[in-house]
């Protein structure tokens, strides 16, 4: 199994870091700009402008480059960081995005939302709209968030375990059909061997992460960090002791959660409760 691509180690200024990686990957591949344009179907001058920092391109171009270079999610993560307004993406979140892209395994608990890696476009749009985004900025952030799902594609994706509070699955979208698609998407994703989904039933009662969404990221060197998040802010936690405390709370929740098989049955039952029009 080839090692996962590490994206730290050079310039940490997002736009410059993105440009550096574009140049490095093309150099290693041995492609000319014209050759790259011929293979991917865009005018070669676009890639030249991206490598000079004149433009960042769009998410569809960046995804195509990730596929071409065999770096699923890496360039898209850097693109999202480069696109981000510094007032919205603080330094800790930037670092989290980098660690997410290079993690070998991820463990998530969602007390309020489905994680972005498992969201459909309409679910992501609803979440971001509720957070105050609109217009072109909203469209860009939806595309970027959905593009991050490429992290779970490829031959060697990181293992991703998510435990979702039943409350998450009891909070639907206003558009019933889109909510059905989100639930169906969750079931489809659980068919992948690298993805494990469990549901924490309301009957489990109070627990140590009762008000905390958390993601644990294990790096290639074996170290683990945690990222906790609420509606106003997120916190990257790297000190071993608090990370361990969060892990103990997570382990206790996993013991209370339904098994993966039972969780799939739970989501199917929820789908039966959602009204639908068979003609659509």
Say what the pLDDT of residue 219 is: 92
Q: How far is CA 19 from CA 5, 10, 44, 74, 96, in A?
A: 17, 11, 16, 13, 20
pLDDT band at 278 (very low <50, low <70, confident <90, very high): low
Strand 195-200 to 234-237 pairing:
unpaired
Mean pLDDT confidence for 66-71: 91
Q: Is the pLDDT of residue 73 over 90?
A: no
pLDDT above 50 (res 85) = no
Range with lowest mean pLDDT among 4-8, 204-208, 241-245, 274-278: 4-8
Low-confidence winner among 48-52, 217-221, 223-227 (lowest mean pLDDT):
48-52
Other CB atoms within a 10 A radius of the CB of residue 166 amount to: 17
What is the average pLDDT score of the chain?
A: 86
Residues 6+ apart with CB under 8 A from 149: 117, 118
∠ CA 123-76-216, nearest 5°, is: 70
- For the chain, the straight-line distance linking the first and the last C-alpha, in angstroms and rounded, comes to 43
Give the angle subtended at the CA of 247 by the CAs of 224 and 215, to the nearest 5°. 60
Alpha helix positions (H), the chain: 14-29, 33-40, 44-52, 59-69, 74-83, 91-102, 121-130, 135-147, 166-169, 176-189, 240-256, 260-273
The 8 Å CB, 24+ separation contacts for 238-243 are 243/216
Supply the pLDDT for residue 230: 74
- Separation between Cα atoms, residue 74 and residue 23, nearest integer Å: 14
Q: Which residue has the higher pLDDT, 278 or 263?
A: 263
Task: Give residue 181's pLDDT band: very low, low, confident or very high (50, 70, 90).
Answer: very high
Indicate yes or no: pTM above 0.75.
Answer: no
- pLDDT band at residue 84, thresholds of 50, 70 and 90? low
Cα–Cα dist 102/229, whole Å? 20
pLDDT digits (tens, 9 = 90+) for 139-161: 888 888 888 888 898 788 999 99
7 contacts 98 by C-beta, under 8 angstroms = yes
> Among residues of the chain, what percentage have pLDDT more than 90?
54
Give percent of the chain with pLDDT exceeding 70: 90
Beta-sheet pairing, 105-110 with 159-165? parallel
């Amino acid at each position: 199994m080839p090692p996962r691509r590490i994206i730290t180690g050079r310039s940490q200024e997002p736009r410059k870091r993105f440009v550096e990686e574009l140049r490095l990957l093309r150099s290693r591949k041995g492609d000319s700009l014209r050759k790259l344009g011929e293979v991917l179907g865009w005018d070669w001058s676009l890639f030249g402008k991206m490598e000079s920092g004149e433009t960042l391109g769009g998410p569809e171009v960046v995804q195509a480059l990730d596929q071409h270079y065999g770096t699923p999610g890496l360039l898209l993560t850097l693109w999202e960081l480069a696109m981000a307004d510094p007032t919205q993406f603080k330094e800790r979140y930037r670092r989290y995005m980098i660690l997410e892209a290079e993690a070998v395994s991820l463990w998530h608990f969602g007390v309020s939302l489905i994680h972005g890696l498992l969201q459909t476009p309409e679910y992501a749009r609803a979440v971001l709209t509720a957070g105050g985004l609109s217009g072109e900025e909203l469209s860009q952030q939806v595309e970027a968030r959905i593009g991050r799902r490429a992290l779970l594609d490829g031959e060697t994706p990181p293992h991703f375990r998510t435990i979702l509070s039943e409350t998450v699955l009891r909070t639907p979208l206003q558009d019933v059909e889109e909510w059905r698609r989100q639930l169906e998407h969750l079931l489809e994703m659980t068919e992948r061997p690298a993805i494990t989904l469990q549901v924490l039933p309301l009957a489990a009662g109070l627990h140590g992460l009762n008000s905390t969404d958390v993601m644990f990221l294990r790096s290639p060197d074996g170290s683990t960090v945690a990222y906790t998040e609420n509606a106003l802010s997120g916190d990257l936690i790297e000190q071993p002791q608090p990370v361990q405390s969060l892990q103990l709370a997570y382990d206790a929740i996993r013991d209370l959660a339904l098994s993966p098989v039972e969780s799939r049955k739970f989501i199917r039952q929820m789908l039966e409760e959602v009204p639908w029009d068979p003609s659509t």
